[in-house]
Amino acid sequence: ALEKKVKSKLGEKVGLPCCHEIESSDSLHNYRVYWQKNTMEVVLAYAEGKEISKDKRYVNRAEMDDRNFTLWISPVEILDSGPYQCVVQHLRSSQNPSVVCDETVTLFVTADFSKPNITTRVTEISCESTEMVVTCSSYGGFPKPEISGTLNNESVVWNVSWVSESSLSPYSVTGTLQLNVTKDVSFTCSVESNGFTKSTSLLLKKTNDCIVPVVPPSYNVITASSIIIIIFLLAISLAARYLSRHVCSRCCKPQDSVEEGVKECTKTPMSSKVTSETSSV
């Protein structure tokens, strides 16, 4: 038996071909047709021109072409993935039907992932760098995807987790990454599944937070400054008093009594006395 492959996207209509076609001179009444999945589950069966069996999963979703026996499924589900076998018997005689076709075709159902969503969470900020956790997520796709990323066109390694109810259920994928951003950089996250890729880009900016906080002076600094100012003011005051006394002492020397001091201070200078005497002569 030959094996064929057919791909379809979730929700579309897909046709699985069989290996035999009825000639114009022949009739469906002369055939038995069996469409089986996984060689055991009968999807549907025809005998003598009538449908005699159909799996409940395919009720209102599957039908067969009565000329070339193509099995049509719509809308296709992820659970429809797998190998299907078309077996055709010709009823030349009811006692000895002959097999004219036995072929397997494998159906691959895919589902598109959502456009990746990138989020960031800043964990630490400094003047030199910004540390952040970058998360990239996508959902609703099949089969199991691969996630990748680039930082300024250089590959990065993700911490990846997948979530799915079963091996034949849509997947959700999440990747996390810790970055130390020292400058603005371009970041891209890509999700690839079954040859299809979806990407999202984001500009990661370094947070500028380099303002140095003003720290108020401590109590000891304030106390020391106050003492220095007080000592400085006292020194100025004492210097002023000293200078005033020194100037007074130069014009009036202290005597034993106030009267003598007055006389001494009012005594006529010698030069003046000589001048007077000379004038009287």
Please return the burial class of 106, using the count of CB atoms within 10 Å of its CB with bins 0-12, 13-18 and 19+: middle
Number of Cβ within a 10 Å radius of residue 244 = 10
Dihedrals phi, psi of 102, to nearest 5 degrees: -150, 100
Q: Are 137 and 172 in contact (CB under 8 A)?
A: yes
How far apart CA 69 and CA 39 sit, in angstroms, is 17
Alpha helix ranges (H) inside 189-257? 219-251
Per-position DSSP letters for 42-71, written without gaps between them: EEEEEETTEEEEE-GGGTTTEEE-TTT-PE
Using CA of residue 6, residue 4, residue 28, residue 26, what is the dihedral sign? positive
Angle at 147 between CA 145 and CA 152, to 5 degrees: 155
Number of H helices, E strands in the chain: 3, 17
Give the domain ranges of the chain: 4-110, 114-204
Q: What is the pLDDT along the chain (281 residues), one digit of tens a residue?
A: 556 899 999 999 999 999 999 988 889 999 999 999 987 899 999 998 899 999 999 999 999 999 999 999 999 999 999 999 999 999 876 667 889 999 999 999 999 999 999 999 999 988 888 999 999 999 999 999 999 999 998 999 999 999 999 988 999 999 999 999 888 999 999 999 988 899 999 999 887 766 655 555 555 656 766 788 788 777 777 777 766 666 555 555 554 444 444 444 444 444 444 333 434 33
For residue 39, the 8-state DSSP code is T
Contacts of 104 (CB under 8 A, 6+ apart): 1, 2, 3, 4, 83, 84, 85, 86
Same-fold call for 4-110 versus 114-204? yes
**4-110 CATH, one of 2.40.50.140, 2.40.10.340, 1.20.1250.20, 2.60.40.10:** 2.60.40.10
| The one-letter amino acid at 165 | E
Tens of pLDDT, residues 184-216: 999 999 999 988 899 999 999 887 766 655 555
Instruction: Return the CATH fold of 114-204.
Output: Immunoglobulin-like (2.60.40)
How far apart CA 121 and CA 29 sit, in angstroms, is 68
Nearest alpha-carbon partner for 19 in 30, 35, 40, 41 = 35
